């Protein structure tokens, strides 16, 4: 089992020292979903929400979330992001909307937390904008799909 990186020998939390690491291109992709009632799903899919463009707002929220990650996750390094993309996919059969966030940087540390935070904030934004018509929505399956670059190499879920 790998040693946890955010704790010293005495078990105290600390921010990992990346000073001697090389700057490399890093890409992370995260995915999550929100399940809703058939009626809410149709409203969203047909863009019939009186609050406006829910997916457009959620896309901007996801991107903004990636940029705020180090402010939200205590030991996360602030990163300069080169590119962030948020995409949506409707799963008709189960009334699920998926959001996928891709985050890219050239840095000494990975960008996985930024992609995961982007997914989370995007989904929470969708919930917030649709909760007036459906409080039973379920946010689920937020996970890292893949990462490229860095010392630990590539990862695919």
The C-alpha R_g of the chain, in whole angstroms, comes to 17
Concerning whether 53 is annotated as a catalytic residue, the answer is no
CA dist 54 and 39 (Å) reads 15
CA dist 99 and 122 (Å) reads 7
Helical pair 54-67 and 112-130, crossing angle rounded to 10 deg: 150
Quote helix, strand, coil % in the chain, to nearest 5. Answer: 30, 30, 40
Q: Which of 8, 89, 128, 154 is catalytic?
A: 128
Residues carrying an active site annotation: 128
């Amino acid at each position: 089992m790998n040693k946890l990186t955010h704790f010293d020998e005495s078990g105290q939390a600390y921010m990992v020292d990346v000073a001697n690491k090389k700057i490399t291109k890093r890409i992370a992709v995260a995915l999550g979903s929100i399940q809703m009632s058939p009626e809410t799903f149709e409203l969203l899919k047909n863009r019939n929400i009186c609050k406006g463009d829910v997916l457009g707002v959620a896309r901007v929220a996801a991107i903004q979330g990636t940029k705020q990650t180090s402010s939200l996750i205590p030991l996360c390094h602030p990163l300069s992001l080169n590119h962030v993309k948020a995409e949506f996919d409707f799963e008709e059969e189960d009334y699920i909307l998926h959001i996928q966030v891709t985050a890219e940087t050239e840095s000494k540390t990975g960008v996985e937390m930024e992609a995961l935070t982007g997914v989370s904030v995007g989904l929470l934004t969708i919930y917030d904008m649709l909760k007036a018509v459906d409080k039973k929505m379920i946010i689920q399956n937020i996970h890292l799909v893949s990462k490229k670059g860095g010392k630990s190499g590539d990862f695919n879920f």
